[in-house]
């Protein structure tokens, strides 16, 4: 999801921010005349749309459901415990054992490469099992804390075929804010809630503090596993109206010299804004701002 880079120490290049040493960090922003900045945002938008449109992007999901421990018949036939949106009527059996391992046993000579009992292992650090190929589609198991579910994706999904692109607020370089950074030593714990009300324990390494319209605001990031970046989940006065109600997401580079860039022109919808078949963490109460952030992506209108 194509993210902001680290901010260098001290003032940014004068041609970009026109800053002086006596201006507070929270007042710095990129002037509208910075054509290079505008080009970077346009490139980021193109890459974002390409990722969504990819055969394995969020728009490719066409099925999902909960998964309990035990053995479950799987296939397109309504008599199965797990009813897939596509594939053979009787695909086989999926088992989630008491050690949280996922196994698949194919029905005889039906619809899937290989035979016998195979493990759909969890790749290191991943909350999604190795996929099972079903025709042109894929089945996999996902984990959210102690809750398990399944998903099915198909590159020919109607949501991907009918994708109309993303609507944005007008590009406004003043929403690229260089905030003050206050680290927490040690990092603090924060439990996020997801769109299915499951808890997601997270670590907060500090807070970003910035000013807008003469008022001061604070945002808490969480550490994004596997990335050298910070992840902000926030809501604001536009949430539930012009933007997705649960949260928008913003990834930022690591802070340096007590500053961090918050480029709200890169604020994006969570996957839940595009499909009902995924689970998303929501903005914590601390990150629900009494401010209209009129930058970044607007809500995506799709038919559930």
Residue 300 within a domain: no
Look at residue 149 and tell me if it is in a domain.
yes
Residue 294 lies in a domain: no
Q: What is the pTM of this model?
A: 0.83
Claim to verify: residue 72 and residue 126 sit in the same structural domain: yes
- What are 20's two structure tokens? 């002086």
Collapsing DSSP to helix, strand or coil, 57 comes out as coil
Are 128 and 203 contained in the same domain?
Answer: no
pLDDT tens, position by position, for the chain (304 residues)?
333 332 222 222 222 232 333 333 333 444 544 888 999 999 999 999 999 999 999 999 999 999 999 999 999 999 999 999 999 999 999 999 999 999 999 987 655 554 578 999 999 888 999 999 999 999 999 998 889 999 999 999 999 999 989 999 999 999 999 999 999 999 999 999 999 999 999 999 999 999 999 999 999 999 977 678 999 999 999 999 999 999 999 999 999 999 999 999 999 999 999 999 999 999 999 999 999 999 999 999 864 4
Chain CA centroid to CA 162, Å: 21
pLDDT for 15: 27
Tell me, what's the pLDDT at 210? 98
Measured CA to CA, the distance from residue 202 to residue 163 in angstroms comes to 32
Whether residue 246 lies inside any domain: the answer is yes
pLDDT at 159: 93
Q: What is the pLDDT of residue 302?
A: 64
Q: Are residues 187 and 242 in the same domain?
A: yes
Supply the CATH number for residue 90's domain.
2.60.200
CB 86 within 8 A of CB 99: no
Residue 99: give the domain boundaries.
62-154
Residue 216 lies in a domain: yes
User: Is 160 contained in some domain?
Assistant: no
Which residues, including other chains, have CB under 8 Å from residue 92's CB and lie 6 or more apart?
A: 73, 74, 75, 104, 105, 106, 107, 110, 112
Q: What was the pLDDT predicted at 278?
A: 94
Residues 201 and 96 in one domain: no
Report if residue 148 sits inside a domain.
Answer: yes
């Amino acid at each position: 999801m194509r993210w902001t880079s680290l901010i260098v120490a001290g003032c940014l290049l004068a041609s970009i921010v026109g800053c002086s040493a006596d201006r507070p960090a929270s007042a710095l922003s990129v002037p509208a005349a910075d054509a290079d900045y505008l080009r970077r945002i346009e490139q980021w938008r193109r890459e974002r749309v390409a990722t969504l449109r990819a055969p394995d992007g969020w728009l490719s999901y066409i099925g999902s459901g909960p998964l309990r421990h035990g053995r479950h018949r799987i296939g397109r036939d309504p008599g199965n415990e797990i009813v897939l949106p596509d594939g053979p009527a009787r695909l086989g059996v999926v088992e989630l054992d008491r050690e949280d391992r996922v196994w698949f046993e194919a029905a005889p000579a039906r619809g899937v490469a290989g035979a016998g009992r195979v493990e759909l292992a969890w790749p290191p650090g991943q909350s999604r099992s190795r996929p099972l190929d079903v025709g042109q589609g894929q089945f996999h198991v996902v984990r959210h804390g102690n809750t398990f579910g399944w998903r099915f994706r198909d590159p020919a999904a109607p949501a991907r075929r009918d994708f109309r692109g993303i609507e944005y607020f007008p590009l406004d370089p003043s929403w690229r804010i260089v905030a003050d950074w206050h680290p927490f030593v040690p990092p603090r714990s924060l439990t996020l809630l997801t769109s299915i009300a499951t808890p997601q324990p997270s670590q907060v390494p500090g807070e970003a503090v910035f000013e807008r319209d003469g008022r001061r605001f604070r945002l808490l990031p969480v550490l994004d596993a596997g990335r050298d970046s910070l992840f902000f989940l926030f809501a604001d006065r536009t949430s539930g109206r012009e933007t997705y109600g649960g949260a928008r997401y913003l990834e930022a580079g690591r802070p340096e010299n007590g500053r961090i860039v918050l480029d709200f022109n890169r604020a994006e919808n969570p996957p839940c804004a595009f499909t009902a078949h995924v689970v998303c963490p929501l903005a914590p109460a601390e990150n629900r701002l009494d401010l209209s952030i009129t930058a970044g992506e607007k809500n995506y209108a799709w038919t559930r």
